Structure 1
């Protein structure tokens, strides 16, 4: 870390949090005034996508640090760890051409990035949680190495972002304990959060006043979509306690990514990262974000962007860590939007699987809202319990649901039949043909039909290696290398169904 960056972090840590909060509350009133004027309304639903990756050595499949110059060359953004890279798609209308454009943009940018990274001896991996540390290093060391630089705790493998390092030195996040079955890890910074990567579909609601209703549906579909997308049952082997390998595999949560994010970033506030509660009005949404605990009250520089009229609010929103998150933004007044960011899904084995989640999420919000689906009456506590059951057990979880005809059920076949019917209906309502809608949803239907998820595939691979006499470490690394090799063959043209 440069002396200049250390100095900037120190400046951030001395910002008056009360003055910052006062500006956030002023910004909240700006948003409310714009809402009253209809600025955030747009009759055409819009979709967007964020996609996170980690880099590995192309030959050994071990985690690799991405040179910062390389990130800028491939048009990706830096994330928390030096091994991370993120892309964001251009917003598109939710219709046949918009979804096709989203998929084409991801493939085009990823293909170009792969070409460039491979020439550097690297590959970008789409996965929920990495398990092979850099060559010659341990995961424990990579995630916890830090130094004190003039009173600032600097994580050795964290990106050179003032925000990230300020967050790592905030009182409420200084020191953490990872919480997962048979795993022990303590750290003085938030660097262990860089274990995980995700995809994040966005859905812009046509009328901002309706956001609470869409939000209610998004919370209730979170569990079944999470159950379909689980992809992080294992940690790097050196993070595990001394326990029988079979016990570790049997008791591993199917989506450890959820637990990592919560245990690392909740700090002294167990409600910071969580499934959000229902809201009654869009004003309540804004007030909830404004009232959330401030992590890094950084100085804010203005610009000509429309949403810089509420720049302090936007900055605070960056640490409003909810698994379903409302967003208010827009570079210009005509681009202004109120949208829902869906955060529970880990990065997936292929692009087609990733876009399938984007299509399913958008289609479900379209249909459930328009048809006033009765699952809106599912108690929030049940929706929350569903979510964490899906995190632990994936498709084996007992999830409570209310079908379109009002029937309460825990039958997975009935739940997913109803879920896919409405996802398809929502896509068709936006102009997709029966065949086009079915094509986008097919990878997820296959998972539900056969009861196979990426996490389940990983557990099977590890069990088979253990049965053949491999050590626990070799079973994990062997599985991971096979995952990366399979992905190389199918990432751009294929789906996880080809593996299973």
Structure 2
């Protein structure tokens, strides 16, 4: 979850003060980039996994307060809806066999959490969108008991002034057209967020690289083909998240006003570019101010928290988000990669992470960076195509032309990722284990979205209706998830 706030609504005076504090924070951040020492000697990686809670019928279990109390671990926190929780993994270095140890730690943690969740009538599952969620599930009390979520919901609808339109069509012609009077549909979008701590001087290259590889990331990892009973995009979470948090009525869309869920519109030269755009283009949704005087703190040789700037930054949902944070009294910056869905297994999550970190490492340090040969419009078009088509997507890549995601990955991206992991100092055992999973998806053509779609199709062919097929498929998904065998090896029913 993002930072909790104390209020659920804000006066005009509070919003005005907040705006002034955000601009002051931005000015101080610019000064810090020029004169402060940021922690960057030992690049660290971090991980967040958003999770769903199921009941015995494989429907959402609106019980995160009870589940979190049973788990009793500060690493697990609430998320937007009462059927969501989040696991936060402490930052750690990437080299050596660290990833293998992390995989074991994550499996043990989730197994223990699931056992405790079952004691209160719930089960834990990592999946991009819970396929059994239905509109009626949001008719009761669905939102988590945190001021932040209620304030976000109310602010989005106050800015929009009308109900949210959800309109998504899948490749087979199935289409979802509906309205939402809350941001509840956004809660269906559960993701894995990858963090990479870098120096401010290297941030732009790493962010640009992350943007460039977002499309193959999504295509290979897609795991969200169903929502409200319809087969939509391979990674429906991308479009659903964008529509479900859209503060713009149609007239502002027609004027070209930027959406809160934002791929971006240009390659950058500094992390400051992104924070400045966020302040310039996006009105505040939350307006909680502190008493910190960031100028006085900086001039007193302290480290400003820049709380207002960070709060605002957390409500602009870039797929690769800039992060400013403090650890042990010293500031640092991170790239937060937000494009990946949760699941299907921990080994799949780790494979997605290794593929990303390896690619970004190589691409960010090339003499002729890929973004100098790839237009930003092409990168955005790739991203949209990957979310719609998944493994069937065709992507444009410099030097390769327009190719299938499997061919692009096998012939070009996997060797690039392997070089990057080697440069990180990652052991061959780690590289071989996780990159072979990515290779396996390409050679079999099966990722989470493909397995879910094909499993439902086969169950329907045997006479199940859509709702029953989705429930049966989800039960099989949970069963396979607990084996920790990668999704490309899962048998179909």
Q: TM-score range by the shorter chain?
A: 0.7 to 0.9
State the Cα distance separating 1:15 from its structure 2 match.
5.2
Q: More deviation in 427-436 or 87-96?
A: 427-436
In structure 2, the residue matched to 1:22 is: 20
Matched, 1:62 2:67: no
SS in 1 for 2:395: coil
Matched, 1:234 2:218: no
Going from structure 1 to structure 2, the CA distance change for 1:466 and 1:87 (only over 3 Å counts) comes to same
Matched, 1:93 2:86: no
Between the aligned partners of 1:308 and 1:60, the Cα distance in structure 2 is 49
Q: Retained in 2: the 8 A contact 1:144–1:191?
A: no
Between the aligned partners of 2:264 and 2:335, the Cα distance in structure 1 is 12
Q: More deviation in 389-398 or 33-42?
A: 33-42
Unaligned runs of 5+ in 1: 134-138, 146-155, 241-248
Q: Retained in 2: the 8 A contact 1:89–1:105?
A: no
Between the aligned partners of 2:262 and 2:98, the Cα distance in structure 1 is 31
Matched, 1:499 2:490: yes
Between the aligned partners of 2:272 and 2:423, the Cα distance in structure 1 is 29
Please give the per-residue CA displacement for 1:396-429, whole angstroms capped at 9, x wherever unaligned.
1110012xxx454425454213111111111111
Between the aligned partners of 1:97 and 1:438, the Cα distance in structure 2 is 12
Between the aligned partners of 1:266 and 1:421, the Cα distance in structure 2 is 38
Larger relative strand fraction? 2
Task: Write the mapping of 1:137-216 to structure 2, written as runs, cut at 5 A.
Answer: 139-145=134-140, 156-170=141-155, 171-173=158-160, 175-181=163-169, 182-205=175-198, 207-216=199-208
Please give the per-residue CA displacement for 1:170-227, whole angstroms capped at 9, x wherever unaligned.
212552121212213322211111112110111112x211211111111110000100
Going from structure 1 to structure 2, the CA distance change for 1:7 and 1:396 (only over 3 Å counts) comes to closer
SS in 1 for 2:132: coil
SS in 2 for 1:253: coil
State the Cα distance separating 1:302 from its structure 2 match.
6.2
Please give the per-residue CA displacement for 1:421-469, whole angstroms capped at 9, x wherever unaligned.
1111111112223333111222111111221111011111111122222
Between the aligned partners of 1:401 and 1:434, the Cα distance in structure 2 is 27
Between the aligned partners of 1:424 and 1:128, the Cα distance in structure 2 is 26
2:345 is matched with which residue: 347, 350, 353?
350
Aligned CA RMSD, in angstroms, stands at: 2.4
Matched, 1:442 2:427: no
Going from structure 1 to structure 2, the CA distance change for 1:421 and 1:68 (only over 3 Å counts) comes to same
Q: Retained in 2: the 8 A contact 1:213–1:369?
A: yes
Please give the per-residue CA displacement for 1:338-380, whole angstroms capped at 9, x wherever unaligned.
1111111111110111111111111111111223354222111
> TM-score, normalising length from structure 2?
0.87
Between the aligned partners of 1:89 and 1:286, the Cα distance in structure 2 is 25
Q: Retained in 1: the 8 A contact 2:66–2:120?
A: no
Going from structure 1 to structure 2, the CA distance change for 1:125 and 1:224 (only over 3 Å counts) comes to same
Going from structure 1 to structure 2, the CA distance change for 1:100 and 1:25 (only over 3 Å counts) comes to farther
In structure 1, the residue matched to 2:252 is: none
Please give the per-residue CA displacement for 1:80-125, whole angstroms capped at 9, x wherever unaligned.
0001000111111121244234334422321221121122222101
1:36 is matched with which residue: 15, 19, 34?
34
Going from structure 1 to structure 2, the CA distance change for 1:24 and 1:85 (only over 3 Å counts) comes to same
In structure 1, the residue matched to 2:285 is: 296
Unaligned runs of 5+ in 2: 170-174, 249-256
Corresponding residue pairs, total: 459
Going from structure 1 to structure 2, the CA distance change for 1:197 and 1:412 (only over 3 Å counts) comes to closer
Please give the per-residue CA displacement for 1:302-340, whole angstroms capped at 9, x wherever unaligned.
699x87530100110111111111111123333x22111
Between the aligned partners of 2:42 and 2:327, the Cα distance in structure 1 is 17
In structure 1, the residue matched to 2:172 is: none
Between the aligned partners of 2:164 and 2:150, the Cα distance in structure 1 is 15
Q: More deviation in 168-177 or 121-130?
A: 168-177
